[in-house]
Structure 1
């Protein structure tokens, strides 16, 4: 994990940039920083980071605009780092393509755990000989890690893909909350069912014909989720 993984940290607060740069470099990460949205987009193009930490409140370009610019050409995991604590802001960031959302102030060890988890998800190897799964609403190509709906590509964040892939690979079977959380985020998140619920809702909005009455991504109340064709 610490073999010079490239991290881009974007924040307009010098103290946060300094703190993250020191802590990440101390753990062997290759750190680039930017304090503006324009600088973030430029740095992302030059350094090709493996994970990006992005503040939403930037002085020149709104963080959502920066995120949209990144998603135009890369699926690199993006962890939003923001003082905005409203659930609507978190959902908006996840829908816009963020992979994770951390609110300020934050604990360094928890943040580092989330960063490592994002890197693991982003660098997961593609398995050979993986099937194409077709439903009445969307198609999942496990080999190429692509999802299409109505012939058009559907953008999923690495976290959303990790959840969907696990459910699809266990087609017809119940996958309990703790198994999904452990698979996608790691053992320290195995009780964060509310966090998981947000991502399932996002997947349904993107994939289901009627997200309020899902046919393929089903909830097993109090237990977990099940994928059916």
Structure 2
């Protein structure tokens, strides 16, 4: 698989054509037909590139770009019937990586996709972006996690939690620190959302999630990632 792409296009005919072209290139594709679906998939999945139509039924494309750029550097390829230089300049200024005006050829579309992903990986994939602790390996540039060489699928929030632990081995991370670092919101002692995510992570990486050895609980305080 070459990567996972989020395809945001509300025109079903165009969507189908682009979907087929991407699958032929061995990309895994998540489909969204409006802005709400797009943001749901982006938050829940590890996306390598976003293909984004600007005109959607609920949210403007530029609002999606701005929302993504608050938390991620994921490449964004805008596709739009708007062909004015001012439109292109505005989207590139607020965070799009490339802009393709409709109509366009599938050859150019696929080439732009590969180029954007290649540029992103070349920029972000270096030794500083790969953390290894024991048999655990975490690739920060694409949020891929490996345990004894086996790939462990993670949601975006799970990956960000593990990134925090990998960057702070053996340190005690309070629940307040964890929540504010991952969710970017003030913490009001609501532990439920943290507990749910920690349970899911432990189910994925621990030999026995009921008796964790990798991420232990410091009762009344938070967690410790044992390096």
Question: Which category of TM-score, normalised to the shorter sequence, fits these structures?
Answer: 0.5 to 0.7
The whole-number CA distance in structure 1 between the counterparts of 2:99 and 2:45 is 23
The structure number with the bigger radius of gyration is 2
SS of the residue aligned with 1:76? coil
1:75 aligned to which of 73, 76, 82? 73
SS of the residue aligned with 1:123? helix
1:11 aligned to which of 1, 9, 12? 9
Describe how 1:191-206 pairs up with structure 2 within 5 A.
none
The whole-number CA distance in structure 2 between the counterparts of 1:31 and 1:51 is 10
Q: How many residues align?
A: 129
1:89 aligns with 2:83: no
1:62 equivalent in structure 2: 60
| CA positional deviation for 1:4 | 3.7
The whole-number CA distance in structure 1 between the counterparts of 2:6 and 2:59 is 17
- What is the TM-score normalised by the length of structure 1? 0.54
2:44 aligned to which of 46, 53, 72? 46
The whole-number CA distance in structure 2 between the counterparts of 1:34 and 1:95 is 24
Gaps spanning 5+ residues in structure 1: where?
A: 130-144, 146-229
Whether the aligned pair in 1 keeps the contact of 2:2 and 2:25 (CA below 8 Å) is: no
- What is the TM-score normalised by the length of structure 2? 0.54
**Deviation above 4 Å: which 4+ runs of structure 1?**
125-129
| CA positional deviation for 1:121 | 1.1
SS of the residue aligned with 1:80? strand
1:116 aligns with 2:120: no
The whole-number CA distance in structure 2 between the counterparts of 1:8 and 1:32 is 5
Gaps spanning 5+ residues in structure 2: where?
A: 129-140, 142-227
